[in-house]
Amino acid sequence: MQQPSEQDGLSKHYRTLFISDVHLGTKACQASHLLEFLRRYEADTYYLVGDIVDFWRIRRTPHWPQSHNDVVQKLLRKVRKGARFIYIPGNHDEALRAYCGQQFGGIEFKQNDIHVTADGRRFLVMHGDEFDVVIQYVKWLAFLGDWAYVAALGINTSFNKVRRRFGFSYWSLSGYLKHKVKKAVNYIGDFETALSGEAKRHAAEGVICGHIHFAAIREIAGTTYINCGDWVESATAVGETHDGKFELIRWLDVLEAEQADAMALSQTAAAA
């Protein structure tokens, strides 16, 4: 596939892009950021690694503004232009698992997949909720946890509005808790270890997943563990370059760096 030129206004072209946990249909979804990301970053292949649409929330309190529809239309436009799309449903869009093994409108639905990188390495791609004991065995607690997470996001949004007025950057309550609360740290560690073990059982050199909203690329016991993060708070994705290397894309950091460069350029021009 021909790579786009600089005249196309794109920041980068990847061999593969991995996106998870968008949660379209919720107020917390950062659809406008994702839309801008999709406009500027292209790929030959896209993996949608679960929880793209949040059917849990839509059943109770649906929220579907134009920006959410724009994201769907942008993805479908990429399909029509020839990009390959693999959709691996998660727990919030688990209804789509009934269609795994089928293809609709150019989108392939799979329970999981083996992605082969440009340099020949095998990576297991899956959402990851299959290794969440709460999801599997105490589902009512998962729904309760989802409600608590949404409530925390609401509090965090109000808090960050105040921060922005004073010129401070975004601060994530859930990210802080994931780093500081021992049970959360242990949960993430257990999840990462379990997913890495599953990669080995599939004779893969690594795993690419989502689910826990905690972006990472790290080595665990000889296996490469990659988590795409989310588009609720962190606005992250994973890109595979054309030589097979993986990059963790933190979109808010990209925007912040661009704003800093623009400000520095403006100050230089004013000084001249």
Name the helix (H) or strand (E) containing 44.
strand 41-48
For residue 98, is it within any domain?
A: yes
Predicted confidence band of residue 8 (pLDDT cuts 50, 70, 90): very low
Q: How far apart are CA 37 and CA 67, in angstroms?
A: 13
For residue 171, is it within any domain?
A: yes
For residue 6, is it within any domain?
A: no
Full residue range of the structural domain in which residue 187 is found:
11-260
Exposed (0-12), middle (13-18) or buried (19+): which is 89, by Cβ within 10 Å? buried
The chain-wide mean pLDDT, for the chain, equals: 83
For residue 167, is it within any domain?
A: yes
For residue 220, is it within any domain?
A: yes
Statement: residue 187 has pLDDT above 90: no
For residue 255, is it within any domain?
A: yes
- What tokens appear for 96 in the block? 């789509």
The strand pairing partners of 217, in sequence order, are 226
CATH number of the domain residue 137 falls in = 3.60.21.10
Q: How many domains does the chain have?
A: 1
Angle at 54 between CA 93 and CA 59, to 5 degrees: 100
For residue 271, is it within any domain?
A: no
What pTM was estimated for this model as a whole?
Answer: 0.80
Q: What residue type is 207 in one-letter code?
A: V
Q: What percent of the chain has pLDDT over 70?
A: 76
Residue 48 pLDDT: 98
For residue 269, is it within any domain?
A: no
- What tokens appear for 261 in the block? 């460069």
